[in-house]
Amino acid sequence: MTTDRSWDRFLRDQDLRWSRLPTRWYEGPFLGDGLLGSMVYQDPGANRIRFTVQHGRVQDHRPEFGSGWGTCRLPVGHLTLDPVGTITAVDWRLSLWNAELTGTVTTTAGTLTLSALIHDEVLAARVTADGGERVVWTFHPEEAISPRKISEAPPTGYTAHPPWTTRTTADGTEQVLQPLIGGQTATAYRRDGDELLLGVGHSAPSETAAEADSLRHLRRARSYASLRKRHRRWWHAFYPKSFVSFPDRRLQSFHWIQLYKVASASRAGGPVMATSGPWLEPTPWPAVWWNLNIQLEYWLVHGSNHLELDALATTVRQNQEQLIANVPAAYRADSSGVGRSSDMFANRGVGRPGSGTEVGNLTWALHNVWLTYRHSMDEALLRDTVFPVLRRAISYYLHFLTPGSDGKLHLPSTLSPEYPVVPPQDTNYDLALIRWGCRTLLESAELLGADDELIPRWQEVLTRLTPYPVDDNGFMIGADTPYAQSHRHYSHLLMVYPLYLVNWEQPENRDLITRSVVRWQALPSAHRGYSYTGAASMYAMTGDGDTAITYLRKFFDPTTRYPCQANTHYTEAGPVIETPLSASQSLHDMFCQSWGGVIRVFPAVPSTWADVTLHDFRTQGAFLVSAVRQAGATRFVRIRSLAGEPLKLRHGLTGRLTVLLDDGTPARTHDLGDGTLAIDLPKGREVLVHAGARPDLVIAPVTVGEPGAAWGLP
């Protein structure tokens, strides 16, 4: 995998294909650049092809109406390609390597040959017509109102935005100007021969700046060929940052499509993904959800070595003042938080412990930001974002922890996200996050050399915080509140995954973990897709790859109530992008884990996957791991240190080990037992670990052992 040709050939086997016309958004091709997004499918009830036009920055700016109406994502519109004849067939391919849709639309009048891509906030399309066909594009603006209109009326006092207007510039560019109360959205599009370019601008509080922005996007794009050249350069640099191959064709293709999807949906410094990513469709959830969705959306960027996609870390860094404003005024001197859902600026108040509301969402999101720190070892991220914001998030809890008659610290009533029963106190969701937060603050203060006045308090909390409420079935929701009815979230199990505070390497906790996961999965009626991906990751932590893949496959089982859809997207009452993205993280957890300061190579590979290849898989400690498994056995592990952190490797090799640095000299090692080796690996150096004769250090796709159809509608 060292040349563009080899990447093109490999990724071509992962492409989505269509031989049937998709009729829904979760069946069709999708394009995006982290800001502008488009989904392609039949315009409902019409003989034409819809290209949706949506943008991650386009939102309302009236927080008094809440995240569902006042700061929600707003629709922009859609293009239609209107053929002369009746559509009879399509032949489309979504190229992952080029991030470009190509193909034909056959009609009773002739053929339309199309290609389309999105780059630098411009949707570019090139369409030619043969026979009696003609190329006719129409832009359809959509009303700037919350997508929640499908399920409820606007709140009292809500005022509709003014209607859009249109204009034509001197060079023939068409513009649709959508005034907003407190902002503006502008869409500009231009036909030039066979080509169409479309750009979207959004501004707030300015009510005029978006107009110029949309035109500037088109000027910068220039032409389809010019834009495609820059577009391909970006994507061809993106994919080779890491590589994974395993013998299940359909799952392997799914995984690579998720990397394409997350790169199409998010870029660091841009808007954090809402539940739909940039591809807004009718939904009751047109916002960012902080109680599970945002966390699951971003996990896969770490192992895949794509930290450049992490908009969550930059969102937290850029909106610290808003996170302070979200807590009640009495606590703003030292506290921060965020409620269940918000806009891209994290604008949503958080309730008080004792009121039965969700309190821990910011702390859980900070675990993601901490993971980005751990995978990069970027001290600036720790110093300027993780430590100060986590300090404030935990300080909010500290105001409410009170000693009980047992001498333990207890937390008044809080909600385990969306569980229908509110515990009277000591909700496990929050107890796990408090423990993780205090532990992380102590470790961070030591790393930063910070003599923080709260160090004694964090230590006291870790010593005196009440134990997790448990019963015969394992972890409860909270005090006096068993897990007694089916629920899709695994909030009450965060201490197991993803925090790993209670883990399989603690023999005394193995039975508790098993009982808890079995009980959660024993009540499945309310489960959703991430209920299966979460269970898969938990079983991967135990080393049980066969059970892990069994649960993961439930997400792809069409007989389940909410399975993965034809284009790998996922829907419940509306699009929810985090679930398929979390399935890729479940695969990561089978292939390589690095929690607790130990890199575990191939810790939970299903027994039917005899061959697996990893290359430049990024782990905590800022290591890049390459490894090859053949015929059920690990052949070699190669690790590069980017930061000089201590390396502990659970290698999975048997027999006499050879451990060589990149200059051919033996590395200094120490056997820690249990198949774990401590290796002295300086920053910028590589180490090769193998048993027996030196293996061929070849990174290549494995042979497919489980055939499967392409994604899409092949």
- 171 and 254 within one domain: no
The phi and psi torsions of 571 (rounded to 5 degrees) equal: -140, 145
On whether the CB atoms of residues 595 and 279 are closer than 8 A, the answer is: no
Secondary structure (H, E, C), 328-387: CHHHCCCCCCCCCEECCCCCCCCCCCCCCCCCCHHHHHHHHHHHHHHHHCCHHHHHHHHH
What pLDDT does residue 81 have? 98
- Which of these three, 218, 241, 264, is where a domain ends? 241
Per the DSSP assignment, residues forming a β-bridge with 614 are 244, 627
* Confidence band for 2, pLDDT divided at 50, 70 and 90: confident
Distance CA 301, CA 486 (A): 30
What's CA 99's distance to the chain center, in Å?
Answer: 18
Give the number of domains in the chain.
Answer: 3
- 328 and 194 within one domain: no
Q: Classify residue 659: in a domain, yes or no.
A: yes
What's CA 470's distance to the chain center, in Å?
Answer: 31
Q: SS3 for 475? A: strand
Q: Classify residue 314: in a domain, yes or no.
A: yes
* Confidence band for 82, pLDDT divided at 50, 70 and 90: very high
Do strands 474-475 and 470-471 pair parallel, antiparallel, or not at all (unpaired)?
A: antiparallel
User: In the predicted model, what is the mean pLDDT of residues 173-193?
Assistant: 97
* Confidence band for 587, pLDDT divided at 50, 70 and 90: very high
- 272 and 171 within one domain: no
Q: Classify residue 547: in a domain, yes or no.
A: no
On whether the CB atoms of residues 310 and 298 are closer than 8 A, the answer is: yes
pLDDT 10s digits, 139-161: 999 999 999 999 999 999 999 99
Q: Classify residue 128: in a domain, yes or no.
A: yes
Distance CA 465, CA 263 (A): 41
Residues 6+ apart with CB under 8 A from 161: 144, 145, 178, 179, 180, 181
- 33 and 118 within one domain: yes
- Which of these three, 589, 616, 650, is where a domain ends? 589
- 222 and 297 within one domain: no
Query: 293: domain CATH number?
Result: 1.50.10.10
Nearest by Cα to 538 from 569, 568, 499, 483: 499
Distance CA 376, CA 623 (A): 9
User: In the predicted model, what is the mean pLDDT of residues 83-111?
Assistant: 99
What pLDDT does residue 1 have? 81
Distance CA 572, CA 578 (A): 12
* Confidence band for 316, pLDDT divided at 50, 70 and 90: very high
- 279 and 171 within one domain: no
Q: Classify residue 505: in a domain, yes or no.
A: no
Place of tokens 């399509």: 90
Residues 6+ apart with CB under 8 A from 487: 418, 419, 420, 523, 526
DSSP state, residue 65: G
Q: Classify residue 18: in a domain, yes or no.
A: yes
SS3 content of the chain, % helix, strand, coil (to 5): 30, 25, 45
* Confidence band for 667, pLDDT divided at 50, 70 and 90: very high
pLDDT 10s digits, 214-231: 999 999 999 999 999 999
Residues 6+ apart with CB under 8 A from 617: 242, 244, 303, 304, 305, 588, 591, 592, 624, 625, 626, 627
- 581 and 668 within one domain: no
- Which of these three, 527, 557, 589, is where a domain ends? 589
Query: 647: domain CATH number?
Result: 2.60.40.1180
pLDDT 10s digits, 239-260: 999 999 999 999 999 999 999 9
Task: Indicate if the pLDDT at residue 600 is higher than 90.
Answer: yes
pLDDT 10s digits, 7-27: 999 999 999 999 999 999 999
Range of 682's domain?
601-691
pLDDT 10s digits, 272-305: 999 999 999 999 999 999 999 999 999 999 999 9
Distance CA 466, CA 452 (A): 24
What pLDDT does residue 53 have? 99
- 53 and 179 within one domain: yes
Q: Classify residue 45: in a domain, yes or no.
A: yes
Mean pLDDT in the chain?
98
- 267 and 222 within one domain: no
- 435 and 333 within one domain: yes
pLDDT 10s digits, 95-104: 999 999 999 9
Distance CA 313, CA 321 (A): 15
Q: Classify residue 711: in a domain, yes or no.
A: no
- 388 and 303 within one domain: yes
User: In the predicted model, what is the mean pLDDT of residues 604-618?
Assistant: 98
pLDDT 10s digits, 418-461: 999 999 999 999 999 999 999 999 999 999 999 999 999 999 99
- 209 and 291 within one domain: no
Query: 193: domain CATH number?
Result: 2.70.98.50
